[in-house]
Amino acid sequence: MNGPKVNQTLALVKLDHMRETPRTADLYSSAQAGSKNQTDMGTIRREGPGCTGNPQRLYVQDLPAKLDAGWVTGFVDGEGCFHIGINKHAEMRCGYQVLPEFTVVQHERDVELLQRIRDFFSCGVVRTNHGDRWAYRVRGLKDLANHIVPFFVMHPLKSEKRVDFEDFCRVLRMMEAGDHLTVEGVSRIRDIAARMNRGRSR
């Protein structure tokens, strides 16, 4: 079964693309016996002719036939991003628009992986990002609240990104309460977004 659709409204956050670090990899055990990615669950390494040798690249042949929750959580811990954008918008009451987003960015040769993640969560889109990069994005508040947030509540992230996710959820709750429609609310959301995705410790 794909990512759960749970009626839990929890969150909004700011996402910046964050690469996996050795610390992230160490947080995941080698539970996937038989996989070539035992010590870095969620990372796919490319091997064979034409490979660049980049240790961050993925070994697509080792992808499970069907993505499971543990694999997706590990992969997002290394490659995912929770982002809160704040843009000027003349039609908004306070002059600004708050835009939460969940993103996973990969090289174009791994676009099939992004499509499988999209299918796993049953929401979002896969589109070109910059240059040879593609991105899986989820921006709709309902999709974030009903698909993305409940999944990571049920399957917690293990790296420092967990704290960013918690802030993301905090912003979503503020938006649900209408705080993003006031100058004071936008200011508080801006403060939360500013401390996210900076490799902070728990």
Instruction: Pull the structure tokens for residue 68.
Output: 């499971």
Longest dimension (CA), the chain: 56
Is 0.95 surpassed by the pTM of this model? Answer: no
Q: Using CA atoms, how far apart are residues 82 and 161, in angstroms rounded to an integer?
A: 8
Contacts (Cβ under 8 Å, ≥6 apart) of 75:
41, 42, 43, 104, 117
Enumerate the domain spans of the chain: 66-194
- Tens digit of pLDDT at every position of the chain (202 positions): 455 444 443 333 333 333 444 454 455 544 444 444 443 444 444 444 444 444 444 444 466 678 999 999 999 999 999 999 999 888 887 889 999 999 999 999 999 999 999 999 999 999 999 899 999 999 999 999 999 999 999 999 999 999 999 999 999 999 999 999 999 999 999 999 999 987 554 4
Q: 66-194 domain in CATH 3.40.390.30? A: no
Q: Both ends of the chain: CA-CA distance in Å?
A: 32
